[in-house]
Chain A
């Protein structure tokens, strides 16, 4: 079953007088349960593609299908609904809400989904334990290290067991040990829950966990290869 299908995606950005190509006729299909790495040098288009797949940004042309539904023409509200129920995001800059504690950050998505407080609390504590943050539930992001914040962001992304996790440079600010732990967690989720992972990275350690590597350059897919893990 196809989790994501991108057809002829184009996206350009204007910066001052310059026209920058983010995506140049990108066509990509990802099956459910795949573990894919998007690999590109800085400015290669991997984050732009990730944003288009996640409905965070709209392509100038082309089609984006997620879970059998075309999303590039959805309204903002419908896109938000789609993200809420289907996708977990892990951002390079963590993007935690600074005024909420680790537990509250993790609970936030479930709160928006309208889940009961008791269930939210239980699930949040379980997933925080899963990412190794037991005892830090009531800590604010500002009082946590970069690695701890990234693990809170991962916990927030996976707590609702979404069908797909989109991660943008998830290990960029982590030490090698923490990065390894995080990737093992991703692999475990992928194996046990058939969660689709699409990870934008240029970290070799991350690539070593992927079964498929899609390489981009200047907004184009230049290589798409399977690999043994």
Chain B
């Protein structure tokens, strides 16, 4: 029982830690914890649906929300051409000084450097660079439609090439300074997203309320948290949790049956002794209660040992990290680092052992009921 509790504590802590890291890493790369957008932009990304005077609003939010890092982005689709080739890409206008605060992408530049604040520069994904056959300091031409529907075009120099490991970003994304984007796509001072990153996931719900309250009432703006922005992420986690719960359920059932077997055997083995104490005047109800109490004490001991050892194991792996052969491939796929750090919380420590505890108590009911059927004379004759 204690061993299964240790496994449950460690596995649930590992799982929670993995989800936390998966969410954090995914959101840290680009999406952020929450975004302010024009109402409807999330589902239909039209260039006209903008946040007016976005930089000023972002500054106000940055002052209002404690611990928040805030940056402005604008998005458009364009055709990017090198000397040899052309591809359709997503162009993102960013604030070069603030983007590193909300995204890990600037840190993933593998060749050249991130946007330095020069007027006409871009960073592009590694696959796009390969496809376009360009390198740092090469020129690219971007052609698209402006906010007002007019022709938008710019020639910019590649200042850096990033490699996020996520194919869709590395193949299709071009980042340029927000000022250049606004000038090229005739955006004025507007943008599409005010992206915010909070100190932790737990701060998001409060931040959403605070940001909603701080938005100007005369503009049709909305706040989306990461759950709304990345529904697939939550669905993937929920699917994984469902699978894991099934596995944990099987483990709990196995433990419950093993306890049932142990308690039942201990009752059967002591049938003669039970017959003696019944004949001496101990009531069957009290004897059944004693057996249940005995099982409960065993379960409490198992719970305490399991939680304690499970916590110690989790704490150690939480410090040193957990990895296994072949994990790098899976980790890349799920946007996880090569080492996972289990996260011990009250929930992960007590959820599994708590269910095992209840299962153990339930498993002791049948043997206790059997005691009620014992007849002292027959019981004393048992071998």
CB distance from B273 to the nearest CB of A (A): 6
Interface residues of B in 82-103 (CB under 8 A from A): none
Interface residues of B in 266-307 (CB under 8 A from A): 273, 276-286
B284 in contact with A76 (CB, 8 Å): yes
Q: Is A16 an interface residue when CB atoms closer than 8 A count as contact?
A: no
Q: A80-B283, A89-B280, A97-B276 are in contact. Are A51 and B377 (CB under 8 A)?
A: yes
B277 in contact with A108 (CB, 8 Å): yes
Interface residues of A in 38-83 (CB under 8 A from B): 51, 54, 56-57, 76-77, 80-81, 83
Residues of A at under 8 Å CB distance from B? Answer: 51, 54, 56-57, 76-77, 80-81, 83-85, 89, 91, 93, 95-99, 108-109, 112-113, 156
B278 in contact with A95 (CB, 8 Å): no
Q: Is B380 an interface residue when CB atoms closer than 8 A count as contact?
A: yes
A95 in contact with B285 (CB, 8 Å): no
Specify which chain B residues have a CB less than 8 angstroms from the CB of A97 in the assembled complex: 273, 276-277
A80 in contact with B372 (CB, 8 Å): no
B279 in contact with A83 (CB, 8 Å): yes
Q: Is B183 an interface residue when CB atoms closer than 8 A count as contact?
A: no
A98 in contact with B285 (CB, 8 Å): no
Specify which chain A residues have a CB less than 8 angstroms from the CB of B377 in the assembled complex: 51, 56-57
Considering the complex, give the chain B residue whose CB is closest to the CB of A94: B276
Specify which chain B residues have a CB less than 8 angstroms from the CB of A84 in the assembled complex: 280-282
A49 vs B171: C-alpha distance when bound (angstroms): 95
B283 in contact with A77 (CB, 8 Å): yes
Considering the complex, give the chain B residue whose CB is closest to the CB of A86: B281
B372 in contact with A95 (CB, 8 Å): no
A182 vs B279: C-alpha distance when bound (angstroms): 22
Specify which chain B residues have a CB less than 8 angstroms from the CB of A54 in the assembled complex: 279
Q: A91-B380, A95-B380 are in contact. Are A76 and B282 (CB under 8 A)?
A: no
Q: Is B106 an interface residue when CB atoms closer than 8 A count as contact?
A: no
Specify which chain B residues have a CB less than 8 angstroms from the CB of A99 in the assembled complex: 273
Which among A57, A81, A83, A89 is the interface contact of B375 at CB below 8 angstroms? A57
A80 in contact with B375 (CB, 8 Å): no
Considering the complex, give the chain B residue whose CB is closest to the CB of A76: B284
Specify which chain A residues have a CB less than 8 angstroms from the CB of B279 in the assembled complex: 54, 56, 83, 89, 91, 95
**Known contacts A80-B281, A108-B280, then 16 further A-B pairs from the complex at CB < 8 Å, ordered by chain A residue:** A54-B279, A56-B279, A56-B375, A57-B377, A77-B285, A83-B281, A84-B281, A89-B280, A91-B380, A95-B276, A95-B279, A96-B276, A97-B277, A109-B280, A109-B281, A156-B280
Which among A56, A76, A81 is the interface contact of B372 at CB below 8 angstroms? A76
A130 vs B276: C-alpha distance when bound (angstroms): 23
A93 vs B380: C-alpha distance when bound (angstroms): 10
A54 vs B375: C-alpha distance when bound (angstroms): 13
Q: Is B353 an interface residue when CB atoms closer than 8 A count as contact?
A: no
A113 vs B286: C-alpha distance when bound (angstroms): 12
A97 vs B285: C-alpha distance when bound (angstroms): 19
Task: Name 24 A/B residue pairs within 8 A (Cβ), A-sorted.
Answer: A56-B279, A56-B377, A57-B376, A57-B377, A76-B284, A77-B283, A77-B284, A77-B285, A80-B281, A80-B284, A81-B283, A84-B282, A85-B281, A89-B279, A91-B380, A93-B380, A95-B276, A95-B380, A96-B276, A97-B277, A98-B273, A109-B280, A112-B281, A112-B282
> What are the 6 tightest A-B residue pairs by CB atom distance, in nearest-first order?
A84-B281, A80-B283, A77-B283, A83-B281, A95-B276, A56-B376
